[in-house]
Structure 1
C-alpha cells in the first residue's frame, strides 16, 4: 500500500453562505443539548421586548394628549399627563433593566456553550496538533475561541433583538401613522386625486433611499472588518510568540529583527484600519445628514394638513413621533450596517474554525494508518507495526516499511539518522499522525505514557505539574515528595504548593527529571521516550534510566535516542535505515539486560519503591 500524503485545502468542506452559517450557529445552540435553557431565555427576552414596545405605543398616545393639553392650556389635563409620564417612564426603566439582564444571560450562556464546544472539538484526539498540518486550516484558533465567539454571540443577540423590535415597532406604528396622516389631496394639471395614508409612503421612500445609499457606501466595510480581524490576530500571535521564545531571542540578540517583524505586522493592521476608517467616514456623512433631516422631514410633510386645520398640534406631534418610529424601524439596516459588517467578520472566523474542525483529515474511509487498540487475540499485550508506511507533507514516503513487534515488559531502543522519521513514528503510535498506511497494534491508551524531549508543564502548582494529567490530589503528598527526591529534585519538595510558570523557572534538565518523577506516580505499563534525557549529564541519565530496573521493573520501554550508552538499558535495538523510497525499520542486535558499566548503586531504593507504592495505596 502506498503511503498517503497529508490533506490539503481540498479536504476542507466548501464554505457555506453567510446566511447558512448564521442559521447553523443559531440552530446548533437552540436545538442542541442546551436548547431548554436557550429557548427559555430567548422567550423571556422576547416577552420583555413586547412589553417595551407596548409601553412605547402608549407613549405615542401620551404624546398626542400632552400636546393637546398644552395647546388648550388645560392645567389639570397637563399635570395628569405628567403623572402618566412618570408612570410610563418607571415602567419603561424597569422593563429595560430586566430586558438587559435576560439579554446578558442569553449572550453569556450562548458564548459559554460555543466556547466549550469548540474547545472540546479542538482538543479531542490531538486534533489541535493535527490541524497544524492541514493546508488551509483556520489560523489562530485561540483568538477565534476566546474573542470571536464573544462578539459572534453577543452581537447576534443584540442585532436579533434590534431587528425583532424594529419589525414589531413597524407593525405597531404604521397603522397609527396611516390613520393619523389621512389622505393627501394632489392636483396635477387637470387631474386631482387623494393619496391615503401618505405619510406611510413618505416614510417608506425616506427609509428606502437611506438604506440603498448606506448599502452602496458601506459595502466595503464587510471585507475591511474581515481583514482587520485577521491582521489583529496575526499581530497578537507575533507578540505571544516572542514572549514565549524570549530566552532564545535574547540570547542571539534578535530583538532588532523581531522589532522589524512586529512593525510590519502592525503596519498591516494600520493599513487595514485606514481602509475601514475611510469607509466609516463616508458612511458618517450619510447617517449624520439622514438623522438631522429626520427631525424636520415629517413635520414638513404633515404641515399642510396642520395649517389647513385638519389636525391639531398634538396630532402633528403624534404623527412626527409615529413617523420617527416607522422610519427608525425601516432604517434598522442603515443604523446598524457598521455593526453588521463587524459581526459578520466574527461569525465568518468562528464558522471557518468549525469548518476546519469538521474537515476529514482522511478523505476516504479506510485510508491512513489503522490503529488497533487492546490485546492480541491470544491475550498478549504488544506494540506491533504491520506493513506500516508513514508519509510526509509532500506525499513522499518517510518510512517505507516497518514490521516489528515489541512485547510487554520489553525494552527497545529505536535509532536512525536525523530525518528518518523516528519522532514521527512515535506520533503515529500516539494516534497523532494518521497519514500513511498499514496497521499499528497498541496497548490500551491508559497504559501508555509519552515523554518528549521538552516535557509539558501546565500552568498552576508544582504538584499539579507533577501529577499531570491527573489532579494533584489523586496522589498523597508523601508520594509526590518521594518521587521528587528519587529523581534528584528534593529541593523542590517545599515548593509543591506554589503556583509559578514552572516551564520558565526550571531548567530543561530539571523538567526532564520532573517528567521521570511523574512516571513514578502514574506507573504506566508502557513508556515511550523521545530524547527524554537529552538535557541530562551522563550521571543523571544513568540515574533516570535505572528507574526502569529499580522502580518500574515490569514497564515496557520504547526509546528514541542518539546519546552513547543508552543501548545498555534496552534489550534490543531497532534501526531506521534511510533508503531511496523511505526508511526501513530493521532489528540490529539484541542485548541481555545488565547493569551499565560504571553505574552506581543507590542505597535504600527498594525501601523507596515500597514507600511510593504504599503512598499510592
Structure 2
C-alpha cells in the first residue's frame, strides 16, 4: 500500500452519476438476476395499475352520463363495474407493494453486504480512523443511510415511471376530450386545439418552478441534518462504551454538556429544515386546493355552451388531474428528493473512501512478503523498513532485523517510539511507510493486544474466536480455562453475555492466553498483553511459552519487570531526531525459569494434572 497523502480526496462525482453508479452496480452485479426480475415485476404491475386507472377514467364518464340521463339500469351497471375495478385495483396495489418491498430489501441487503465486506477487508475499518477526510461514522452510513438510499430510490423511481406512463396515457384522452378553445381578441380570432393539455402544462410548470425556487435550501439542510444526527449518535455510543471510565472520574456533567452541544447542532439544523418545509407548504397547500376547481373552471365554457355533457366534463376533470399529478411529480416529491439525496451522498462518500483505499493498496509503500524463505525457513524479517504516521511524519526511521521460528524476542523502547505501530505494520494494518516485512503465513500468526477482543455471544465463542466454538472439544476448552486460572468460568461456557463488561481486564487477558492454548499458533505477538496482571499471574501466563507453547515463536512488547526472563534476546527502539531506530542487544543465553508462583486459584499441584489433560486432549 502506498505512502500517500491522506487528504488527497477523490474529485466528487455529480449526484446523477452517483445515482447511476449505485443502480448500475446492483443491476449489473452478482445479484443481477434477482434484481432485474424484481424490477420487471414492479414495472409490469405498475403498467397494470395504469391500465385500471385508464378504465376508471372511462367509467367516470359513463357513470355521470347515467346520472345525467337518469338511467337506473345503466347506473347500477356502472356500480357493479366499479366494484370489479376496485377489487382489481386493490389486488394489483398489494401485489405491487409486495414486489416493491422485496426489491427495496434485496437492494439494501446487497449494498450493506458489499459495504461491510469492503470496510472489513484488509483492516480498512481500522485504517480509516487515521485518514484525514475519510468518511465519518461508517457504521451509521452502512446501517441507516443505505436503508433510505435504496428504499427511497425504489419509491421515487416507481413514482416517476408511473407519472410518465400516466402522462402519456391521459394526455391523449385530455387532448381529445377538451377540443379546441375559440379565442377572440378584437378582430383577431383563433382556436387553441387541446387547450386543456396546454393549461395542465402551464399549471404544472409554474408549480414546479416555484417549488424548486422555494425548496432549494432543503437539499443542503438535509445533508447537514444527517451529519448532525450521526455526530450526536456517535457521541451517545461513545459514552455508552466508555461508561465505566466516565463514571469513575465523575465526568457526567462534562459529558452532558458535550451531548447537549451535539444535540443543539441537530436542533439548529432541524429548525432550518423545518423553516424551509413551512415555506414550501404554503405553496403546495394552495397548489393542491386550486387543483380541485381549476380544470372545471377552465372547461366550463364548453359545458355551458352545450358542447360537452356533465359526464365528459367530469372525465376531463379526472384526466386533467391525472395529467397534472404526473407533471407535478417533482412538486410532490421535492422534500423526499432532498432527503434522499443526502442519504445517497453519504453512502457514496463511504464508497469513494473505500475505493481510494483500495486503489492505494497497489501503489507501493510498505511491502509485505508472506511465506517461508526460499530455503524453507519461516522468519519475521525487516528490510530497510521505515514507518510513518498517516500524515507522513516519520515514526521509525530504520529497522533491519530477523527473528527465526521458535525464538522469543522482546521489543522495548520509550513510549511513543512506535512499538505498537510496528506490530500493526507486521499485521498488515499500517500501510504508511516503505521497506519490506517478511512474515510467516498469516494463518500461523496470533496477535494479542492489551485489551483482547471478545465478540458478542457465548463464552465458548469468545474463547475459540475467530474459529467457531464447535471446532474445539468441550474438555479442551475447560482444560485451557483451568490452565490459565479461570476454572470459575468453566460452568459458564455456554452462557451468552457481554463478556467484555463482565470480566475484568485481567480475566480478559488470561482468557486470551487460554485462546492461544486452543489455537496453538506458530507465531505469537504480544502487545502489553500482561499489563493488567499481577506479577504472579504474569509469570503463570508467560510460562506457557516454556511449557505448553515452547515451539512457538514469541515477539512481545512490554515494560513489566521480569518479562525479559522469558525471552532469548531483546530489540530496542531508540528515539532519534528523524525517527526511532531498531537496534539489537546482545543475545541472551536461555535464562533460568523463575520459581513457579501460585496465581489466584491456580495451585502448583493442579497445574501438572491440567497440563497432562491438555496434552491428552490434543493427542
Aligned counterpart in structure 1 of residue 311 of structure 2, from 314, 317, 322: 314
Deviations 1:577-597 (A, max 9, x none): 111111111111222223333
Counterpart of 2:491 in structure 1 is 494
Q: Are 1:615 and 2:617 matched, yes or no?
A: yes
Deviations 1:117-143 (A, max 9, x none): 000000001000011111100000000
Task: Map 1:279-294 to 2 at 5 A.
Answer: 279-294=276-291
Q: Are 1:352 and 2:349 matched, yes or no?
A: yes
Counterpart of 2:130 in structure 1 is 133
1:4 deviates by 7.9
Q: Are 1:562 and 2:559 matched, yes or no?
A: yes
Aligned counterpart in structure 2 of residue 546 of structure 1, from 535, 540, 543: 543
Q: Are 1:115 and 2:117 matched, yes or no?
A: no
Query: Could you tell me how far apart the structure 2 residues matched to 1:504 and 1:475 are?
Result: 25
Deviations 1:244-295 (A, max 9, x none): 0001111111111110000000000000000000000000000000000000
1:616 deviates by 4.8
Aligned counterpart in structure 1 of residue 433 of structure 2, from 436, 461, 466: 436
Query: Could you tell me how far apart the structure 2 residues matched to 1:411 and 1:188 are?
Result: 103
1:367 deviates by 2.6
Task: Map 1:168-567 to 2 at 5 A.
Answer: 168-360=165-357, 363=360, 365-567=362-564
Q: Are 1:20 and 2:22 matched, yes or no?
A: no
1:197 deviates by 0.3
| Secondary structure at the counterpart of residue 385 of structure 2 | strand
Q: Are 1:97 and 2:94 matched, yes or no?
A: yes
Query: Could you tell me how far apart the structure 1 residues matched to 2:87 and 2:409 are?
Result: 79
Q: Are 1:596 and 2:593 matched, yes or no?
A: yes
Contact 1:459 1:465 in 2 (8 A): yes
Contact 1:118 1:354 in 2 (8 A): yes
Counterpart of 1:9 in structure 2 is 7
| Secondary structure at the counterpart of residue 267 of structure 1 | helix
1:474 deviates by 1.0
Query: Could you tell me how far apart the structure 2 residues matched to 1:490 and 1:264 are?
Result: 47
| Secondary structure at the counterpart of residue 429 of structure 2 | coil
Greater Cα shift, 587-596 or 372-381? 587-596
Counterpart of 2:601 in structure 1 is none
Contact 1:576 1:584 in 2 (8 A): yes
Counterpart of 2:41 in structure 1 is 44
Call closer, same or farther: CA 1:614–1:199 in 2, change over 3 Å: farther
Q: Which runs of 5+ in 1 are unaligned?
A: none
Query: Could you tell me how far apart the structure 2 residues matched to 1:607 and 1:39 are?
Result: 63
Output the TM-score relative to the length of structure 2. Answer: 0.97
| Secondary structure at the counterpart of residue 359 of structure 1 | helix
Call closer, same or farther: CA 1:73–1:372 in 2, change over 3 Å: same
1:604 deviates by 6.0
Query: Could you tell me how far apart the structure 2 residues matched to 1:235 and 1:396 are?
Result: 32
Tell me the C-alpha RMSD between the 2 structures: 1.4
Query: Could you tell me how far apart the structure 2 residues matched to 1:324 and 1:77 are?
Result: 25
Contact 2:5 2:391 in 1 (8 A): no
Greater Cα shift, 431-440 or 581-590? 581-590
Query: Could you tell me how far apart the structure 2 residues matched to 1:362 and 1:438 are?
Result: 19
Contact 1:7 1:361 in 2 (8 A): no
1:61 deviates by 0.1
Call closer, same or farther: CA 1:47–1:266 in 2, change over 3 Å: same
Counterpart of 1:145 in structure 2 is 142
| Secondary structure at the counterpart of residue 534 of structure 1 | coil
Query: Could you tell me how far apart the structure 2 residues matched to 1:193 and 1:366 are?
Result: 72
Output the TM-score relative to the length of structure 1. Answer: 0.98
Query: Could you tell me how far apart the structure 2 residues matched to 1:329 and 1:269 are?
Result: 35
Call closer, same or farther: CA 1:88–1:364 in 2, change over 3 Å: closer
| Secondary structure at the counterpart of residue 586 of structure 2 | strand
Deviations 1:517-570 (A, max 9, x none): 000000000000000000000000000000011111100000000011100000
